[in-house]
Structure 1
Amino acid sequence: MTRLRLHIFTAMACVAMALYSCNSDVVYDKYNHTQLTGWEKNDTLAFDVPPMKESGRYRLELGLRTSTSFPFTGLSLVVDRTVEPGHMLYTDTVNCRLADDKGNVLGRGVSCFQYSFIVSDIDLRKGDSLHICVRHIMKREIMPGISDIGLKISKR
């Protein structure tokens, strides 16, 4: 009887995962690693998003993973995106609040923290692709404690 329950549970889990993956509006989700010892100001992280399969409105989100060695309560980033074809360049500045006024971390996690920030909503046509570059604009040249920067694009 226990074996039958295990098979039923496994089948239900597979069906649930299949249904969830079919309904997901995420079209791109990738993280790029930075040196935990320090992300240099001139180190730009690049993301190449393949052509969109359909026209529509998309949400661009920035993911951030930090360690406890990150010394600030906030981080300022510049997100440059080039839409091809047409070579249209757009620039957004994202001010990431990572801790409250008392120093309490706002991210999820224990020793490593995960954050997500909305950059913008963008209109794309079928066949449009994106080249996105992310860099920090903090006064400090080397930014320690940032392990990954990610980019997620989902259909609205």
Structure 2
Amino acid sequence: MQTILKIRKQLSSIIIALLLISCNSNMVFDQYQSIDNHEWPSGAKLDFIVPNLDTISSKNVFINIRNNKDYEFSSLFLITKIEFPSGFQVVDTLEYEMTDASGKWLGSGFTDIKENKLFYKENVVFSEKGDYKFMIQQATRSIQDIEGKEPLKGITNVGLSIEKVKK
């Protein structure tokens, strides 16, 4: 009986430690959207609405991509847009490497799912109060699919996270 209590106490301590380590007090926003059937159509835009209550602190913005072994490209092309509360918009076309030169997946994860935390905007201040709308759309094409009619396979989730810059 005492052994069971000792094991429970140790497990409780480990769980509490993991929770404390995993908590990120600098995290401002962290949200994911699932991709249906792991097939992301080129016209499908993913929107993230971020309320801004802090107009002073510098922040880093990340695009988070989870992919499985069905992803067939070494890089990922995205079109992003930030719409400010005033209506001002910033549009970017981005390219991220998903594999190294030998074809090994980048990102973290021990299973078939890899997670990539990709820098999008670094050290920015969102100076307008109100809601910021972030839009992410894939723009990856194969040679056979130059018109973008085929969905991008192997992307399981797309996320956006915003963290205060550590001082």
Structure 1 length as normaliser, TM-score? 0.84
Q: Map Cα deviations across residues 71-122 of structure 1 (whole Å, 9 max, x no partner).
A: 11111001101111x1121122221101122211112222111111100122
Decide whether the 8 Å contact of 2:52 with 2:126 is kept in 1.
no
Q: Which residue does the alignment assign to 1:136? A: 138
The one-letter code of the counterpart of 1:92 is D
Q: 1:101 is aligned with what amino acid?
A: A
% identical aligned pairs: 18
In the alignment, structure 1 residue 64 sits paired with structure 2 residue 73? no
Cα distance in 2 for residues equivalent to 1:116 and 1:17: 20
SS at match of 2:78: strand
Structure 1 position 25, deviation (Å) = 0.6
2:156 aligned residue (143, 147, 154): 147
Question: How far apart are 1:33 and its partner, in Å?
Answer: 1.0
Query: What is the match of residue 112 of structure 2?
Result: 111
Distance 1:129 1:11, change over 3 A: same
Q: Which residue matches 1:102?
A: 102
SS class of match (1:50): strand
The Cα shift of 1:128 comes to 3.6
Partner deviation per Cα, 1:2-47 (whole Å, 9 max, x = no partner): 53785587468648846974x6111100011112352111000110
Relative to structure 1, the CA distance from residue 54 to residue 20 in structure 2 (aligned partners, 3 Å threshold; closer, same or farther) is farther
Residue 51 of structure 1: how far off its partner (Å)? 2.5
Alignment pair present for 1:24 and 2:25: yes
CA contact 1:92–1:119 (8 Å) conserved in 2: no
Q: Which amino acid is the alignment partner of residue 148 of structure 1?
A: N
Counting matched residue pairs gives 154
Asked whether the 8 Å contact 1:52–1:125 carries over to 2, the reply is: no
Alpha carbon RMSD of aligned pairs, Å?
2.5
Q: Which of 124, 127, 130 matches 1:125?
A: 127
Could you tell me which residue of structure 2 aligns to residue 83 of structure 1?
A: 84
Matched-pair contact (CA < 8 Å) for 1:66–1:146: yes
2: CA distance, partners of 1:69 / 1:41 = 17
State TM-score, norm by structure 2: 0.79
Q: C-alpha offsets along residues 48-82 of structure 1, whole Å, 9 cap, x if unaligned? A: 11222452211110000111011111110011011
Question: Which residue number in structure 2 is paired with residue 93 of structure 1?
Answer: 93
The structure that is strand-richer by fraction is: 1
